[in-house]
Amino acid sequence: MFRNLSLLYLCLLVLASCSNPASTTQNQGIPSKENSIQYKQPVPEEMLPRPLHIVAAGDSLTQGVGDSTKQGGYLPYLAKKLEKEGIRQVVIENHGVKGNRTDQLLKRLGSEELKTAVGKADLVAITIGGNDLMRIIQRNIFGLEMPVFEEAKEGYVSRIKEIMETVSALNEDATVVLIGFYNPFFPWFSDIEEMNQIVTEWNRASSQVADSYPNAVFVEIDDLFLNLEVNLLFDDFFHPNDQGYELIAQRVFEELRGERLVELERRTYTVRNEESNAE
């Protein structure tokens, strides 16, 4: 009998120790799990990088003639490569016009639309020159001699300099990418060495102009189209096809990698912060 009462008493003690009042007493001062959660505040917008703004101007290579997607030739490929490399977002403003020559681009750079666009750009990409060369060929089809191209090159170089000066005056901080042109006749007239020589000399002249500007870079692409084993031309046998545009984008990206790309990424933060402080 006494043994059973003792066991009953022990059971009551155990039950009492497991009751809610005891548990509450033991946990006093300890915050519950849901109250201890620290919610992070949203990152202020001014701390986030803004989109990288690319303004593209020039001829059909900028417009993207031959691009089956009709999204702007090499530019979408370039945007994807930049975003993959670490740029948060790339916004492209395409001002390419099929058939444009250096004199026509110069005139358009005086328009309010293009002046405003270039003034706000982080990177200005230009394709120009191919139509200048084609115009000489068309005008001298029955008398194509090297002196004709040499004389025309002087005017071409002068206009390239004026284009670079104009862009620099509109936006001294923007990175300027001047893209060369190629010989579209090479697959059919690869034996005409003079044509390749002319393209090489005109591109070299463009490169020398770009080298005189610290924020500019020249991108050579003519060698890409000298491979007869791979067709990089559209059905018109003149403009690049999708693969051709992708290779152009790759070449531009390679020229931007390193310090220039770091500077572009830094600019997406700096400009936003400057805009926020101004407000």
Distance CA 90, CA 56 (A): 13
Half-sphere exposure of 176 (CA within 13 A, CB side): 31
Range ranked top by mean pLDDT from 6-15, 91-100, 191-200: 91-100
Least reliable range by pLDDT among 94-98, 128-132, 138-142: 138-142
Which of residues 189 and 157 earns the better pLDDT score? 157
Confidence at residue 137, expressed as pLDDT on a 0 to 100 scale: 84
Which strand (E) or helix (H) includes residue 219? strand 216-219
**Going from the N-terminus, what domains does the chain have, and what CATH number goes with each?**
47-278 (3.40.50.1110)
Confidence at residue 1, expressed as pLDDT on a 0 to 100 scale: 42
Distance CA 172, CA 185 (A): 37
Confidence at residue 39, expressed as pLDDT on a 0 to 100 scale: 42
- The per-residue pLDDT for range 135-182, each reduced to its tens digit, is 988 887 766 778 888 899 999 999 999 999 999 999 999 999 999 999
pLDDT range class, residue 6, cuts 50, 70, 90: very low
- The per-residue pLDDT for range 226-244, each reduced to its tens digit, is 988 889 999 998 999 999 9
- The per-residue pLDDT for range 106-120, each reduced to its tens digit, is 999 999 999 999 999
- The per-residue pLDDT for range 238-272, each reduced to its tens digit, is 999 999 999 999 999 999 998 889 989 888 887 55
Strand order in the sheet with 52-58: 90-96, 52-58, 123-127, 175-179, 216-219
**CB atoms closer than 10 angstroms to residue 39:** 5
Confidence at residue 67, expressed as pLDDT on a 0 to 100 scale: 95
Distance CA 75, CA 93 (A): 10
* 29 residue type, one letter: G
φ, ψ of residue 172 to 5 degrees: the values are -75, -15
φ, ψ of residue 54 to 5 degrees: the values are -105, 125
| β-bridge pairing 175-179 and 90-96 | unpaired
Confidence at residue 116, expressed as pLDDT on a 0 to 100 scale: 97
**Over the chain, what is the mean pLDDT?**
83
* Cβ–Cβ < 8 Å for 71, 64: yes
Confidence at residue 41, expressed as pLDDT on a 0 to 100 scale: 53
- The per-residue pLDDT for range 14-55, each reduced to its tens digit, is 334 434 443 333 333 434 444 444 545 554 555 577 899 999
